[in-house]
Amino acid sequence: MLTPTHLIAAQTAYLSACLVALHSPRPTEAVAAVSASLIADLDSRQSIVGRLFPYLSGPLEHWVGHRTATHSLLAQATVGIAAYFLLPFGFFLALVAGWVSHSIADMMTPSGVAWFWPSRVRCVLPGNEQYRMNVMGWGELVFAGIMAVLGMVFMLLAQAGEGTGGLIRSAIGDITAAREQYDAEKGRNAWTLRIEGRDNRSFEDVDGEYPVRGPWREGGFIVDSENGPRSVCRQSNCDWYTDHAVLVRGQPEITTTTTAKGDQVTVKELREALAESENIGQVLLTGEVTVKGAKAEPPTVEVVGETVRLVYAEPDVLATLPGVLRDVELSVQVRHAPGSKSPTFRLDARQGPTLDPLLGRWVE
C-alpha cells in the first residue's frame, strides 16, 4: 500500500486502541503512531524510511527481503514488550498500534506479509485473492476513505474517555452498572452522573448532569444539585428515581483521607482544623458523632437519638450542630487536583469530657 494509506490506517488504529484502553488521545502520541507505521518499510530501499536509513534498509532488503523481518510479529512483539516497560503508556500504545496496522494493511494486498517470519509463509486478508486490494487501485482508495471516517468517529469516542465498556454502559443506562464502575474506579477522577428521572416526592423531572459526592447505600449515589445534595437510586426510598443513569469521567483528582477522633471537641475547633484543607479542595466528612438536639438533613446527615451520622457531608453542615460534639469518629476526605499542595489536618481533641454530659447542653 501507499504511504498515505498507511498513515491514515495508523491514526485510526491508534485512536481505536485509545478507545479500548480508556486512554485519552494526545497529539504527540498521534504523531508517534503515524511515525511508527513507517518502521515496517525499513526493509525496502525505495520506501521513505528506507531512503532515510539506507545503511539499514539496503542490507535488510538484500538478506531477508521486503515485507518480512520488519513486518513480522516477532519484531513487533519484541519491541512492543520493551516499549511497555520503557515508554509512557500512551507512546507504547501509539508505537504498537501504528506499526502493527502497517502489517495488517499490507496483508490485504495480493502478495501479503510474512508476519510469522522467519517462516516464509505469507499471511493474507481475506483468503480469496479477488477481494484483496491492488496498490494504487480503487480498493485502496476506498479503504483509505473508510479508515479516515472511522478515525474521526474513534477520536470523538476516545476523547469522551468512556472506553468500550463505558459506551455499552451508556447505551444501557443502568445505575447498578454505573455504581459498580464508580466503586471500581473512584478516587482517581471527579465524576458526574447523567440521569433521566423524577423526584420521588414532587414527580418533577430531574434530567441533567450532577457532580457525584459519593455512593449512597447499596446501589445509589449522592449528587450535588442546585438545592443541595440529593440521593439517587432506582427505588422509592431515595430523593430521585432514575430511569437512565450514566457515569461520566471528569478531570483527574487525588483523594487524601485522614481521620478525626476524640472524646470531645467543639464545632469551632473542628471547623478551624478543616480550614486549610478547604482551601485546597473539596472536603467531605463521613462517620459518627454524638450530640443532642441535632436535626436530620438527609442524605448527608442522619440522626438516630443522639447519634449523628455524616455521609459525604460538607463542613458547612457542622454549623447546624450544637457547639460540643462527643465520641467523634470521622473520616475526612480532601479531593484535590494532582500536583496541588498536600492537605494537612490536625485536630487537638480533648480526651474525656470536661463537664458532666447532663450539663453539656447548657454550656457553649
Query: Both 9 and 144 in a single domain?
Result: yes
Query: Both 171 and 302 in a single domain?
Result: no
Per-residue pLDDT at 166: 56
Query: Both 10 and 114 in a single domain?
Result: yes
Query: Both 226 and 300 in a single domain?
Result: no
Q: Rounded distance, CA 77 to CA 46, Å?
A: 25
Per-residue pLDDT at 351: 47
Query: Both 117 and 156 in a single domain?
Result: yes
pTM (predicted TM-score): 0.58
Domain stops at, among 161, 182, 198: 161
Query: Both 116 and 180 in a single domain?
Result: no
Helix and strand totals (H; E) in the chain? 11, 10
Domain stops at, among 220, 252, 284: 252
In angstroms, the Cα distances linking 51 to 38, 55, 72, 158, 164 are 12, 9, 21, 35, 40
Q: Rounded distance, CA 330 to CA 311, Å?
A: 10
Per-residue pLDDT at 352: 47
Per-residue pLDDT at 101: 93
Per-residue pLDDT at 41: 87
Peptide bond into 229 cis (omega under 30): no
Query: Both 38 and 150 in a single domain?
Result: yes
Cell triple for residue 106? Answer: 499490507
Q: What is the pLDDT along the chain (364 residues), one digit of tens a residue?
A: 688 888 899 899 998 888 888 787 888 999 999 999 998 888 888 888 878 888 888 888 888 888 888 889 999 999 999 999 999 999 999 999 999 999 999 888 888 899 899 888 888 888 777 778 877 778 888 888 888 888 888 877 776 555 555 555 555 568 888 898 899 888 888 999 999 999 999 999 999 999 999 999 988 999 999 999 999 999 889 999 998 998 888 888 999 999 888 888 888 889 888 988 888 999 999 999 999 889 999 999 999 999 999 999 999 999 888 888 999 999 999 999 988 877 777 776 554 445 455 555 555 4
Query: Both 69 and 8 in a single domain?
Result: yes
Query: Both 270 and 335 in a single domain?
Result: yes
Query: Both 291 and 331 in a single domain?
Result: yes
Domain stops at, among 231, 252, 273: 252
Q: Side-chain half-sphere of 193: how many Cα atoms within 13 Å?
A: 36
Q: Do 159 and 27 contact (CB within 8 A), yes or no?
A: no
The CATH number given to whatever domain includes residue 172 is 2.30.30.690
Query: Both 107 and 134 in a single domain?
Result: yes
Query: Both 184 and 232 in a single domain?
Result: yes
- Total count of domains within the chain: 3
The whole domain housing 58 covers 3-161
Q: Rounded distance, CA 164 to CA 215, Å?
A: 24
